[in-house]
Structure 1
Amino acid sequence: MNTNKRNYLSIVLRTLMVTIGACFSSIGLEIFLIPNNIIDGGIVGISIISSYLSGIPLGIFTLALNIPFFLIGYKQIGKTFVLTTAFAVTCLSIGVSILHPIPGVTHDIFLAAIFGGIINGTGVGLIIRAGGSLDGTEIVAIILDKKVSFSIGQIVMFFNFFILIGAGFIYGWDRAMYSLVAYFIAFKMIDIVVEGVDESKAVMIVSDRNEDISQAIIDRLGRGVTLLNGQGGFSRLSTHVIYVVVSRLEIAKIKSIVHSFDNNALVTIGSVELAGKKYKKKPIH
């Protein structure tokens, strides 16, 4: 496949993923959250409140309020991300306008928060995987992240804190708390969709039983291990540090393996982005 065809296919797939993601988010908002006065975070949350107070359709606010952020981001972040985000927001605006006349499927606030959060988070996750976003506040957060010591996530949470307080005054504090539940569930779903259920974790193990533990990991999990040369900072004794990459679903198993040999072993776990096939799982014989 030549470069032009590959680029064309990539654009088509990205467009399709963004469109599907916006459809999911539209359903989560209009069918579950909004009918029960549960809001989302960011510009979408502000748009929901503004639409509620003014009677102007939500789709108009989601598009109009994001336009200034598109202009700012286009100059300071890059056109690909901003254009993908603009397309996603446009699809969302159309989607919520089409679905608005349809009544919500449940009046149970707790169920609405759970399923609304799951569906909305799935949609946002798909859009992020396609290289875009669904909210102008994230564009601001990316810009501010270069100038302040706070992370992008902390900046977004700062914005959302005040939005949820506003929801408490307008809808009542119980709805604000349900909004927080929906937001947390959506956040976790975004993580799952973006990283995948099979998210990779890097595990480092320091133990005197490193040979036994290494062999057990190979035999029971089918994972290749790397032995790094290490030295105790206090004892100055040489040792091997076990390095292995596993999925998040294998974390409990690897802890069990380690502790079956050495209850005093030091185990550190961190998220990694896996590239290449060297650490892919091997068949267990």
Structure 2
Amino acid sequence: MTHTLTEPAEDPIRHSLADDAQGIAYGTGMASFGILILTHLGLVTGQTAGLAVLISYATGWGFGPVFFVVNLPFYWLGYRRIGPRFMVKTLISVALLSGLTMVMPRWVSFADLNPIVGALLFGAITGSALLALFRHGASLGGIGILALYLQDKTGFRAGLTQLIFDACLFAVAFTFLDPVKVATSLLGAVVVNLVIAVNHRRDRYIAT
């Protein structure tokens, strides 16, 4: 029998509203902090967040509004393929991240941040943020929705799906951004996807 994210193979105790609230708060808070590190260093990343970063760099528009708009086409897939519960949680998560990235620079600043260390921190922080969201039946939209759907239906790891998309995005980034910064950014993206690929497995954890 095939099971979806909303129909687990077993019948564990479902996360409570408070459980989901703290998971989504942690995930969006840490993800916004990761974006702050990323943009402070002028780096890029993958997934729809990376697309929004590239658009923001190219146009001067704020990351938050761009990220929210970029994700709009993916909500239909989230609703039709994974379910309304997942879609609503994802919409809330995307909206929170969009808002937090607009205010986070007022709360946190860096006097000195090594680009390599920053890329590693971004990868670890963002990977843990995405894990928290995935394990509470949410994502940060876009490729995350597609990746979770493919993992649930085919067993193809969510992290690997994201890695393929990231490769295409970075190829574009190399055409108009500083190659050294793009290469440094790759380190962070690899860490994000490794954290997800190793830790987000249906045979080890079932999100409800």
TM-score scaled by structure 2?
0.79
Q: 1:126 aligns with which of 125, 132, 145?
A: 132
Aligned length: 193
**1:42 match:** 47
State the alpha-carbon separation in 1 of the partners of residues 205 and 48 from structure 2: 33
Alignment of 1:1-285 (within 5 A): 10-30=16-36, 32-101=37-106, 102-142=108-148, 152-190=158-196, 194=200, 272-273=203-204
Q: CA offsets, 1:175-234, max 9 Å, x none?
A: 222111101222334467657xxxxxxxxxxxxxxxxxxxxxxxxxxxxxxxxxxxxxxx
Q: 1:46 & 1:100 partners in 2: Cα distance?
A: 20
Deviation of residue 72 (structure 1)? 2.6
- Tell me by how many angstroms 1:16 deviates: 1.7
User: What secondary structure sits across from 2:48 in the alignment?
Assistant: helix
Whether contact under 8 Å (2:162, 2:193) holds in the other structure is no
Displacement of 1:44: 0.2
- 1-structure distance, mates of 2:140, 2:88: 11
In structure 1, stretches of 5+ residues that fail to align are 1-5, 196-270, 276-285
Following the alignment from structure 2 to structure 1, what is the Cα–Cα distance between the partners of residues 200 and 131?
5
Counterpart of 1:81, as a letter, is: F
Q: CA deviation at 1:142?
A: 4.7
Q: Aligned partner of 1:119: which letter? A: I
Cα distance in 2, alignment partners of residues 75 and 104 from structure 1: 42
Partner Cα separation in structure 2 for residue 79 and residue 58 of structure 1: 26
Which structure: greater strand fraction?
1
Q: Contact (CA 8 Å) 1:126, 1:193: kept in 2 or not?
A: no
Aligned partners of 2:151, 2:200: CA distance in 1, in Å?
21
* Residues 50 and 61, structure 1, Cα contact 8 Å, conserved in 2: yes
SS at match of 2:118: helix
Cα-Cα RMSD = 3.0
Give 1 or 2 for the bigger CA radius of gyration: 1
**Pair 273,120 (structure 1): closer, same or farther in 2 beyond 3 Å:** closer
In structure 1, C-alpha distance between the alignment counterparts of 2:111 and 2:156, rounded to whole Å: 39
Gaps of at least 5 residues in structure 2 are: 1-12
User: 1:23 Cα deviation (Å)?
Assistant: 0.5
Sequence identity percentage:
22
- Asked whether the equivalents of residues 157 and 197 of structure 2 are also in contact (C-alpha less than 8 Å), the reply is no
TM-score, normalisation: structure 1: 0.60
Q: Partner letter of residue 85 of structure 1? A: T
